Amino acid sequence: MCGIVGYLGFRKAYPIVIKGLQRLEYRGYDSAGVVLTNDNELNLYKTKGKVSDLKKIAETQNIDGNLALGHTRWATHGIPNDANSHPHVSNSGNLVIVHNGIIENYNSLKKELIKRGYSFDSDTDTEILINLIEEFKKTNNCKLGKAVQLALKSVIGAYAIAVYDRTKSDEIIVARLGSPIAIGVGEDNKEFFVASDASPFIEYTKDAVYLEDEELAIIKLGKDLRVRKIKDDSFVEPNINELQLNLDQIEKGGYDHFMLKEIHEQPNAILDTYRGRLLADRGLIKMGSVDNNITKFLNANRIIIVACGTSWHAGLVGEYLFEDLARIPVEVEYASEFRYRNPIINKNDVVIAISQSGETADTLAAVKLAKEKGAFVFGICNVVGSSIARETNSGAYTHAGPEIGVASTKAFTTQITILSLIALKLGNLRGELSNSTYQKYLHEMVLIPSKIEQLLKIDSKIKEIASIYKDVSNFLYLGRGYNFPVALEGALKLKEISYIHAEGYPAAEMKHGPIALIDESMPVVVIATNRGHYDKVVSNIQEIKARKGKIIAIVTKGDTIVKEIADHVIEIPQASESLYPLLTTIPLQLLSYYIAVMRGCNVDQPRNLAKSVTVE
């Protein structure tokens, strides 16, 4: 959500910043802007719309300079328009800011600044913040870094900011609270990069510093990076991380969209997630983060899973896994509700927080709340060094590689892979799974990537189904047991990228309301694999057919009963019931993708959505 890119160094800043903004388009945005400084001259270009629109404006103007800040804005305070776009400049015309986050007490600050003679051209909280910094700089006669620090002590909310003074074009001030920011450090401090994540500067440096909450960094050419605590001004030794990301991972690689590329990356992503952890030939699951805290898991009164969106659906699969395989009670909570409802958390609870980005604001807040109440908190995320990875007591990375498409695909399956490994390990250690059953599961998990590869070869059949239903207004998705969360996820994918209304339900709940919607124009996707409650699902399909609903069925290869009833059948390979979600979700991802493409939707950047929701 929103994107920041900045450059200070010896290269031309504009190409670096614009390319960086393009790499951050996956975060979701509705306007874009860039500001450049050359010999104290400030050139500011911004517009409602896409980075491509910004380029058309900027590249007819002066784009010289070795210092620049760029931004993609996702509207919070103020509608999407040119005036509300970032960067923002202070009343004096000297100070410039880009900002991700929300300043909650902006209104009271604005009233005070107006009393002091400040005026505002936008409706944003960000313009208030840059003028507040200017006021502190003026009244305290201090350097910019100190003024930023003083101003931030006065604000309530969340922020990642980059600020500079056009009269000092060798320095940028960066700070964060609740919103991620990374600083790339060039060789011998001859250049620096600032970005919401490392993707904009990966080809220039492998060295990055991730600021912690309430830290402020002073970037100055030729000088070592200085980091201080905002609250007490104490010095912090910067922790320079070596980036594992490579350029190929953030390019489309010949695919039409990142989403399609990431759907096809799932066999390798799952393999990378269990590599070194799933040792089927030795009959072991080896996870240091679990092994080192095994008594916490084995003695847990219950497991509480907190997450949002697709990660919440993965958590629901986790509930089935832990209760079925390990017989541990589980509650799955929306992080956004969990943090506000005064939940009962005990020291013998294990809280598992799931987030692709590791920066989801509500999930991060839930983590902090659980820690305060004494629970052991375990994180599952994809981004190394992310806030949730640092804040939790322990955790596991999914190793899925960058996920650029806003609609999560490989995040879902790799999160389920981690949850499966933990559940199987605990089930075996608790004596709930016999050694022979445990071994069977391990060997079957090894085969999941190759089974997904088989599924990816049937996309022509899914394209055909998509072409039939691309213009409908509603979809219904049904599943039972392990496949109920998959039905929810399938419906979410369709909503996210095609803008077709879709709902996921437990199949048995159809008769408690949704059946009223079914007629000859209502397509119903039913996950009807041959494990679990197959006969019950068949009955549900017959009820739909009796009301002339159009049935798209996901069935196990070799099925004959559902084939006779359904309008369309998509076959998947045989698997154990608990592993079916890793397979049944693949055709649903492809179906939503092809429908969205056929409807002319922006698959990778759906309207109104952001990849990582880093503010409430």
Residue 246: both structure tokens together: 């490579």
Closest CA to 527 of 562, 578, 579: 562
Radius of gyration of the chain (CA): 26
Q: How buried is residue 118: exposed, middle or buried, by Cβ count under 10 Å (0-12/13-18/19+)?
A: middle
Closest CA to 355 of 431, 411, 428, 426: 411
Question: Do the two domains 252-446 and 457-603 of this chain adopt the same fold?
Answer: yes
d(CA 262, CA 256): 11
Catalytic, 601? Answer no
What pLDDT is stored for residue 97 in this prediction? 96
d(CA 493, CA 410): 13
Closest CA to 482 of 317, 312, 326, 307: 317
What pLDDT is stored for residue 133 in this prediction? 96
Catalytic residue among 2, 308, 381, 601: 2
Measured CA to CA in angstroms, residue 177 lies from 104, 147, 152, 343, 470 at distances of 13, 17, 10, 24, 43
Inform me whether the pLDDT recorded for 616 exceeds 60.
no
d(CA 579, CA 583): 7
d(CA 176, CA 591): 39
> Half-sphere exposure of 91 toward its Cβ, with a 13 Å CA cutoff?
16
Inform me whether the pLDDT recorded for 575 exceeds 90.
yes
Inform me whether the pLDDT recorded for 579 exceeds 80.
yes
Whole-number percent of the chain with pLDDT over 90: 70
29-88 residue pLDDT tens: 889 999 999 888 999 999 998 999 999 999 999 999 999 999 998 777 778 888 889 999
> What SS3 state is found at 400?
coil
Catalytic residue among 48, 50, 451, 611: 611
Report CA torsion sign: 289, 291, 295, 300.
Answer: positive
Inform me whether the pLDDT recorded for 538 exceeds 90.
no
Q: Which residues on neighbouring strands pair with residue 176, listed in sequence order?
A: 160, 215
Inform me whether the pLDDT recorded for 608 exceeds 90.
no
Closest CA to 589 of 412, 448, 449: 412
441-451 residue pLDDT tens: 999 999 999 99
Lowest mean pLDDT among 54-63, 248-257, 361-370, 529-538: 248-257
For 457-603, the fitting CATH number among 3.40.50.10490, 1.10.3720.10, 1.10.357.10, 3.30.70.270 is 3.40.50.10490
Residues 507/508/512/518 CA torsion (nearest 10 deg): 40
Domain 3-248 sits in CATH 3.90.79.10: no
Q: How buried is residue 276: exposed, middle or buried, by Cβ count under 10 Å (0-12/13-18/19+)?
A: exposed
Q: Which amino acid is at 113?
A: L
Which DSSP state fits 212? P
* Average pLDDT for 522-534: 88
pTM summary value: 0.77
What pLDDT is stored for residue 545 in this prediction? 82
Q: CB neighbours (10 Å) of residue 459? A: 19
* Average pLDDT for 372-400: 91
Q: Domain segments of the chain: what residues?
A: 3-248, 252-446, 457-603
> What's the longest Cα–Cα distance across the chain?
81
Inform me whether the pLDDT recorded for 605 exceeds 80.
yes
Residue 65: both structure tokens together: 């300079």
CA 23: distance to chain centroid?
15
Concatenated DSSP letters of 433-464 = S-HHHHHHHHHHHHTHHHHHHHHHTTHHHHHH
Residue 276 zone, left/alpha/beta (φ > 0; ψ -120 to 50; rest): left
- Protein fold of 252-446: Rossmann fold (3.40.50)
d(CA 229, CA 614): 21
pLDDT tier at 246, thresholds 50, 70, 90: low
Lowest mean pLDDT among 4-13, 246-255, 364-373: 246-255
456-477 residue pLDDT tens: 999 899 999 999 999 999 999 9
Residues 65/69/70/71 CA torsion (nearest 10 deg): -170
* Average pLDDT for 537-554: 85
pLDDT, mean over the chain: 91
* Average pLDDT for 349-358: 93
What pLDDT is stored for residue 508 in this prediction? 76
Catalytic, 2? Answer yes
